[in-house]
Structure 1
Amino acid sequence: MSAPSPAAAADTVHPADAVIPTDLDLVVAARTAVASEVVALDLVTPDGATLPPWTPGAHVDLLLDDGLVRSYSLCGDPADAGRWRIAVQREAAGRGGSAAVHERLVPGAGIRVRGPRNHFALVPSASYRFVAGGIGITPLVPMLAAAEAAGADWRLTYGGRSLATMAFAVELRERYGDRVELVPQDRDGLPDLGLALAAPDPDVALYCCGPVPMLDAVATACADRPGALHVERFAPAEPVDTGADTAFEVELAGSGRVLTVPADRSLLDVLEEAGAMPLSSCREGTCGTCETGLLAGEADHRDVLLTAEERDAHETIFPCVSRARCARLVLDL
C-alpha cells in the first residue's frame, strides 16, 4: 500500500464520495495462496454486518501487533458489501508487517482494520492503459472490472519476476483474454512500456502501480501527457530541495494547545510525543494513514499523494513528511 512521482504527474484523485475511515474489528474468513509468497485474505465482521463502501483504488490499514500499521489495497469486488479482500506479499527485507500477516492472520484470526481510504481513484474515461509490476497489481484488479463493466477500451500490461510470483495473473488472463499482457521477466524480459502505454485515444487515462524503477520509467514515457498519468507508489520519491528546514508552531483546534516543531524534528514526531496523533504507518508520505485536516496556514507539502490542486487548497497535510511555509498551522486535531 502499498505504493514518489514527478510533480508533473497527476498521481492521485480523491473521490467525491470519499468515506471517512473507520476502525473495525474484523475476522479472517478465508486465506488463499494466489502466488509464491502472496496470500489473499478475505475479511468480514464477526456478525456478518455490512462493511463501509469503497471504490477501486482504495486501501485499508491493518493495525497489527507491536504497534505495526500497514496499508494494503482492496482487490475484491466493491459490490460485495460483506467482505473486504486484500493480498499481501511476504517481503524478506521488510519491516515486519508482511511477516506478521503471513504468520498470524489465519482463518478465524481477528484483526483491527481502519478504512477505507482512496488516494488512487479511477477517473471516468472511455479508454485506459494499466501497467502493474509485481504486487502492484492489487489496486488495479477492481479497476479492470470497473473499466470492463463500463464498456471502456482498456489494456493491462503486467510484469513480474516469474509467472509463479505474479498474483492473479492466470485468473486475469482467463477472465479478460488478450486484453491482459503477462510479462514474466524470467521468460520475456522487461515490459515494453512504450507499447504498453500507446493508445489511439488522446484522452486515455494511464494507471500504474509497482516498483520504483517501473514507475520512473512510466513517468518518463508519459512526459508529454502528464495530466493523464495516475500512479501509486510503495516508496517515496527522491527528496525535493525545499531549502533548510525551520521551526514552526501547530495549534490543535480541538484543545487550543500549541506545539513547537523544531527544525530537526518532524511534525509527526511532535504530535506523537504530545499524544495527539492516533495513527501512522509508512512515515514516508506514501500511504496516507496519517492524513490530517488543515484548518489554517500554508503547508510545505512533501508527500506523493496530493494533486497540485489539493496542495494549493491547503486543506489536508501528511505530518510524517510535510512541514509549514508559515509561522503556524492549525490542525483538525
Structure 2
Amino acid sequence: MRVVAREEVARDVVALGLESVDGSRMPPWAPGAHIELAGPDGLRRQYSLCGEPVGDRWQVAVLRANQGRGGSQWVHESLVPGATVEVRGPRNHFELVEAEEYLLVAGGIGITPILAMARVLAARGASWQVAYGGRSRATMAFVDELAAIAGERLTLWPEEEAGLIDLAAVLGEPRAGRAIYVCGPEPLIAAVEQAAQGRGETVHSERFSATVDRAGDAFEVQIASTGQVVTVPAGGDLIDALQEAGVGVEFSCREGTCGTCETGVLGGVPEHRDAVLSEEERAANDVMMPCVSRCLEGPLVLDL
C-alpha cells in the first residue's frame, strides 16, 4: 500500500492515510480491527484502524515509543507520503457486540479503536458514553474529532489537570446489559476489569503488550492432517517447536497480542496465556495462540 496522507495529531503521534497502490477500493472493516505493517527488519507491527470503516483509504495512528523495538521509530521516520509498505489484514479480535448500551474507555493511543467505535455507535443512534484519559491534552490524539462525534457523551481526563481516570465515577451504578470496551496501557485495562467485576456487565479489552510467561513442563502436540507428533521442551515455545518440525504457522508479535497465529484445537486442553481470547473463547478450548500458550491436558491435537 502507499502512504497518501500524514498528519501529526498529538505530541509524538502521527496519523497515516493508506491507499492501495493500484487504486482499487479498500476492503471494508469493522471497529476494533487492526492491520499489520511489515517493517524493514522483517517484523510486523499491529495498529488499530481508526478512520471510516468503508472507503478508499485506511487510517492508523502511531505513537512514537522510544523504549519499543523500533517499529514506531520506523513509522515516524520513514513512512512519509509516497512511501509504500506491505500491509496484512484487517483482523479483528475486539469487535463490537450487540448490547443495550456501551461504555468506551481509552487511555493514550488506545483511543484509536475507541474512536472508530464511537463513530459507528453515534451513527447507529446507540446509547453510549466515552471516557478518554492521557498524560496531557497535548499528548491526546483526536480530541476535537471525538468531541464532535460524542458531544456531552465525552469525558476527558488529562492526567496533569484531573489525575487518573476516576473509574468509580465513570462506571457509576451497575448497568446489566452494558458492554464496556477498554483499550490502553495495561494498568488501565486491569483496573477497569477489576472495577467491573460482579456488576453484570461484560468487559472487552485490547492490550498492546502481554507479560509472556514461558515457564512450564514439556508436552506433546499432534498435527491432525499428518499424525506427526511434535514435542515442546520444558520452557520452550510451541511455535518454535512447530517451525523446527517443518510445520508452518503464520505469526507476528510472539507476545500473544495480535492473533495472527490463532490455531484450531481438535483435542486436549490448552493453557491459554494470550491477551486476545475472551473468557468464553478460552473456555471453549477450540483455538489457541501457539506463540505463548501451552498445554494443560494433552496431547494437544492441532488443526494443522
| TM-score interval for Structure 1 and Structure 2 normalised by the shorter chain | over 0.9
Normalised to the residue count of structure 2, the TM-score between the two structures is 0.92
Give CA deviations for 1:64-93 in whole Å, capped at 9, x if unaligned: 11121111111111122x221111101010
Structure 1 pair 157–227 and aligned structure 2 pair: CA distance change class (3 A): closer
Aligned residue in 1 for 2:77: 103
Q: Percent identity?
A: 53
Residue range with higher mean Cα deviation, 163-172 or 322-331: 322-331
Aligned residue in 2 for 1:59: 34
Structure 1 CA distance for aligned equivalents of residues 138 and 79 of structure 2: 22
Aligned residue in 1 for 2:251: 280
Match of 1:70 among 38, 42, 45: 45
Aligned residue in 2 for 1:204: 178
Aligned residue in 2 for 1:39: 14
Give structure 1 stretches of 5+ with no counterpart: 1-25
Structure 1 pair 146–75 and aligned structure 2 pair: CA distance change class (3 A): same
Structure 1 pair 100–276 and aligned structure 2 pair: CA distance change class (3 A): farther
SS of aligned partner of 2:41? helix
Question: Once the 2 structures are TM-superposed, how far is the Cα of residue 265 of structure 1 from its aligned partner?
Answer: 0.5
In structure 1, give the amino acid aligned to 2:15: A
Structure 1 pair 219–283 and aligned structure 2 pair: CA distance change class (3 A): same
| Contact 1:61–1:289 under 8 Å retained in 2 | no
Structure 1 pair 200–212 and aligned structure 2 pair: CA distance change class (3 A): closer
Residue range with higher mean Cα deviation, 289-298 or 181-190: 289-298
Question: Once the 2 structures are TM-superposed, how far is the Cα of residue 201 of structure 1 from its aligned partner?
Answer: 4.1
Is 1:79 the counterpart of 2:79? The answer is no
Structure 2 CA distance for aligned equivalents of residues 62 and 50 of structure 1: 19
Aligned residue in 2 for 1:123: 97
Alignment of 1:182-201 (within 5 A): 182-198=156-172, 201=175
Question: Once the 2 structures are TM-superposed, how far is the Cα of residue 56 of structure 1 from its aligned partner?
Answer: 0.7
In structure 2, give the amino acid aligned to 1:247: A
Give CA deviations for 1:95-148 in whole Å, capped at 9, x if unaligned: 111111111111121111111111111112231111110000001111101111
Structure 2 CA distance for aligned equivalents of residues 41 and 101 of structure 1: 9
Structure 1 CA distance for aligned equivalents of residues 10 and 219 of structure 2: 47
| Contact 1:27–1:111 under 8 Å retained in 2 | yes
Aligned residue in 2 for 1:245: 216
In structure 1, give the amino acid aligned to 2:206: E
Is 1:258 the counterpart of 2:206? The answer is no
Structure 1 pair 215–167 and aligned structure 2 pair: CA distance change class (3 A): same
Aligned residue in 2 for 1:296: 267
Structure 1 pair 127–303 and aligned structure 2 pair: CA distance change class (3 A): same
Structure 2 CA distance for aligned equivalents of residues 64 and 160 of structure 1: 28
Question: Once the 2 structures are TM-superposed, how far is the Cα of residue 296 of structure 1 from its aligned partner?
Answer: 3.2
| Contact 1:75–1:142 under 8 Å retained in 2 | yes
Match of 1:164 among 126, 138, 141: 138
Aligned residue in 2 for 1:14: none
Residue range with higher mean Cα deviation, 286-295 or 274-283: 274-283
| Contact 1:56–1:139 under 8 Å retained in 2 | yes
SS of aligned partner of 1:65? coil
RMSD of aligned residue pairs (Cα, Å): 2.1
Normalised to the residue count of structure 1, the TM-score between the two structures is 0.84
SS of aligned partner of 2:96? coil
Match of 1:175 among 133, 140, 149: 149
In structure 1, give the amino acid aligned to 2:80: V
Aligned residue in 1 for 2:108: 134
Question: Once the 2 structures are TM-superposed, how far is the Cα of residue 55 of structure 1 from its aligned partner?
Answer: 0.9
Question: Once the 2 structures are TM-superposed, how far is the Cα of residue 226 of structure 1 from its aligned partner?
Answer: 6.0
Give CA deviations for 1:171-215 in whole Å, capped at 9, x if unaligned: 211333221111111122112111112267432111111111211
| Contact 1:62–1:113 under 8 Å retained in 2 | yes
Work out which structure has the larger RCO, using CA pairs closer than 8 Å and 6 or more positions apart in sequence. Answer: 1
In structure 2, give the amino acid aligned to 1:203: G
Give structure 2 stretches of 5+ with no counterpart: none
Aligned residue in 2 for 1:48: 23
